Every structure is written in structure tokens, then in C-alpha cells.
Amino acid sequence: MFRKTTLATPLAAAAALFTLPALACDGFEIHDGYARASHAMAQSGAAFMIIHNHGTEDCHITGARSDVAQRVELHTHIEDDQGVMRMVEVEEGFPLPVDGEVIMARGGDHVMFLGLHRPLEQGDEVEVTFVFEGGAEATVTVPVDNERQPGAHDHDHGHDHGHSHD
């Protein structure tokens, strides 16, 4: 008789770091991740973060999922014919080349939660799993911060990779 061992989730200890299986894409780092509801009682929400690729492979985010919502899509904003900014799904996903980054921010690229299973309450945490071309996946946990102002945590992204992250 063999007893199956279950690996403890490594996510608990490393909320802000990706954990990856040994597939092609590796070496990601995120900054300034957070999620928010579209408004109080909203059925939708979004997550924002900056993802750096410190690995050795060009990667491409092709999708995302989360247990917080029925559907998770990669979105961006485009200006329509009337000059109104609208959200659209980015079906081709976001490229993430070596030493490159994806900036998901208010008014731009973001992870969209459609059909929330539970309200995104201040202080909660949300897990988002990104799926990469080739099948690699990376899960990140971000805090819910409905009070964050657009751009409040923007900082100069001069590729100063010497700083530390906690």
C-alpha cells in the first residue's frame, strides 16, 4: 500500500511571487498587484499588476483564470469612433519577452473578472493563474484594494532591477 502524499501549496508563503512548473517560461516577478471591483455590488472586477520577465525565454500570456469569477479575460481599452474608451478582450493575449514587462493598469491592459462568485471586499485576496503559450502556468495572489486610486502606485519603470520586493 502506498500513501499518496500531497504537496503543500507553495503559494501561501510567497504571495507576491510566481511559482512555476519546470516549463519553458520562468523567472517572473510582479509589482503593484491588486484587484478591485468595478463598483460596490459589482458583478465584475479587474486585476492590475506589472509583470517582468526575468527568465531566459520569450513568453506570451494567452489566458487567465481565477476561482473568483465565472470568466476571466485579458482586456485592454481602446478608443472607439466616438472617442470613448471601451474595454475589449485581447484574444491574442499579451507578449512578455525576455527582460520585457506587461503593464496592467487602470485604463489599459488588465485581467477582467466577469460574473464574480463573491464580492471583492477590501482586504480580501484573489488568486489569478496566468496561462502561457506552451502550457506553462503561473499563479499570483493579489490583494483586493478598492480604494487604490488610478496611478497612485505608478513609478518610473526604468528597469532598475536591483531593488528588492517583499
**Which residues in this chain contact Cu ion in the complex, by CB under 5 A?**
75, 87, 112
Nearest CB to Cu ion, comparing residues 37 and 112:
112
Strands 85-89 and 69-79: antiparallel
Nearest CB to Cu ion, comparing residues 75 and 136:
75
Nearest CB to Cu ion, comparing residues 29 and 109:
109
Report the distance separating Cα 152 and Cα 127, nearest Å.
Answer: 22
Report the distance separating Cα 92 and Cα 21, nearest Å.
Answer: 23
Closest distance of CB 134 from Cu ion, Å = 25
Closest distance of CB 44 from Cu ion, Å = 7
Closest distance of CB 110 from Cu ion, Å = 6
Alpha-carbon Rg for the chain, nearest whole angstrom, is 16
Nearest CB to Cu ion, comparing residues 38 and 139:
38
Closest distance of CB 75 from Cu ion, Å = 3
- Per-residue burial over 115-129, b = 16 or more CB atoms within 10 Å of its CB, e = otherwise: ebeebbeeeeebbbe
